[in-house]
Amino acid sequence: MTVVNAQTFVEPAPSALLLLGRGADLASERGVECPGDLPAASDPGLAERARVAKAALGDRAFILGHHYQRDEVIALADVTGDSFKLAREAAARPDAEYILFAGVHFMAESADILTTDAQAVVLPDLAAGCSMADMAAIDQVEEAWAVLADAGLADRTIPVTYMNSTAAIKAFTGRHGGTVCTSSNAQVAMRWAFDQVGGLDGDGKVLFMPDQHLGRNTAVLQLGLPLTDCVVYDPRRPGGGLTTAELAAARVILWKGHCSVHGRFTAANVAAIRERVPGVTVLVHPECTHDVVTAADLVGSTEHIIRTLDAAPAGSSWALGTELNLVRRLAAAHPELTVHYLDSTVCFCSTMNRIDLPHLVWALESLVEGRVPNRIVVDADDAHWARIALDQMLALPGV
């Protein structure tokens, strides 16, 4: 799909997204019903109702908008950013009584961990989960650690978990001396983890969760490890589908997880856009598969993609391998550039899109009426250990 000034983007069919939250989708990440009556998505006064409710709340409410949200939600956000930036922004607003997170569940959990007990973090639709985060359940991770312990490897393995993970997984990481990372600092985090067990030249290991592609791309392309040093642990197979010898020989144990959006892009997409658009620069997110990243010209986090487009010379052509709402917004912000979506198929982050204007209006109006809907509260013990892992990330060089 070629995008010029964002005019060719088409919203996905609402029926696939549970936009009104009137029922539960048991096949979804969380399958949690969103209670309450929501205004109709077709209501022409929705945006005005949102502005009125937000004005009534004033400084009591602070709205965080993730880059992958749709434009009408971003228009109401007090700040936009990636998941960790938004959690830190929430922590920097101790006087805000309500933190409304226009994102997904794990992001709201991080905000709850980093804010005070007096603040309420609200997720407008509880069904806004994350397929990647849900690919690593805490019982599966505990079982994997037991496999490593039985193989005599746990004491020289450091867990590193991506921000895109549940609070329980972050807590597990903190309990076992590991750190959280983002797509921006995964290289620094993984190098730090290796340093805890003898360095890159030693025989220590990193257990990287839950996105295998970010872990592999970091280990191979940024730390210089061979692909053969990476193995994939599949929680659905006995022993992760690996022998003790394979675990012992590996340096990086990758959890079998992925992003449902970034995992769609293929090397064939890269080849096709190069054929159609001579001179195009292909820029992709590190959650893409290894063959896509190696076929691209540039790779970087969401914030890196935004900064790169902001600095791009007028008249240049770009193909972006990341979420479609963001690509569309970048195309609209840069009419001097020609922006292409790397895939030929329209693909939004469906769970992120569950936070739509009806849900946000419902949450804001509920707060005005004195009711706190969909509050996200992390278990105190999990919050303690997850905070330790997050603080370790904040202590990393350059963070």
Give the count of beta carbons closer than 10 Å to the beta carbon of residue 5: 14
Please choose, from the candidates 222, 223, 189, 182, the residue with its C-alpha nearest in 3D space to the C-alpha of residue 207.
189
pLDDT at 346: 58
When mean pLDDT is compared across 5-9, 106-110, 162-166, 247-251, the lowest value belongs to 5-9
- State CA 14 to chain mean position distance: 22
**CA 270 – CA 295 distance, rounded (Å):** 7
Q: Are residues 34 and 126 in contact, defined by beta-carbon separation less than 8 angstroms?
A: yes
pLDDT at 159: 98
Please choose, from the candidates 124, 129, 92, 95, the residue with its C-alpha nearest in 3D space to the C-alpha of residue 111.
92
pLDDT bin (cut points 50, 70, 90) of residue 96 is very high
Q: Are residues 36 and 20 in contact, defined by beta-carbon separation less than 8 angstroms?
A: no
Q: CB-hemisphere CA count at 13 Å for 240?
A: 27
Please choose, from the candidates 384, 383, 362, 360, the residue with its C-alpha nearest in 3D space to the C-alpha of residue 371.
362
Helices (H), the chain: 46-57, 71-74, 83-91, 105-114, 138-150, 167-175, 186-195, 212-217, 244-249, 267-276, 290-295, 302-310, 324-333, 357-368, 380-394
Give the count of beta carbons closer than 10 Å to the beta carbon of residue 59: 10
pLDDT at 39: 65
- What mean pLDDT is predicted for residues 382-391? 95
- What mean pLDDT is predicted for residues 278-304? 95
Strand-pair category, 298-299 with 281-284: parallel
pLDDT bin (cut points 50, 70, 90) of residue 237 is very high
pLDDT bin (cut points 50, 70, 90) of residue 345 is low
Predicted confidence (pLDDT) at residue 28 exceeds the cutoff of 60: no
**CA 149 – CA 153 distance, rounded (Å):** 6
Long-range pairs for 53-56: beta carbons < 8 A, 24 or more residues apart = 53/361, 53/364, 53/365, 53/367, 53/368, 54/364, 56/368
Q: Are residues 153 and 206 in contact, defined by beta-carbon separation less than 8 angstroms?
A: no
Q: Are residues 37 and 365 in contact, defined by beta-carbon separation less than 8 angstroms?
A: no
The pTM (predicted TM-score) of the whole model is: 0.85
Residue pLDDT, tens place only, 180-211 = 998 889 999 999 999 999 999 999 999 999 99
Q: Which amino acid is at 264?
A: R
pLDDT at 282: 98
Return the axis-axis angle of helices 167-175 and 105-114, rounded to nearest 10°: 50
- What mean pLDDT is predicted for residues 59-77? 90
Residue pLDDT, tens place only, 97-142 = 999 999 888 889 999 999 999 999 999 988 887 888 889 999 999 9
**CA 307 – CA 200 distance, rounded (Å):** 31
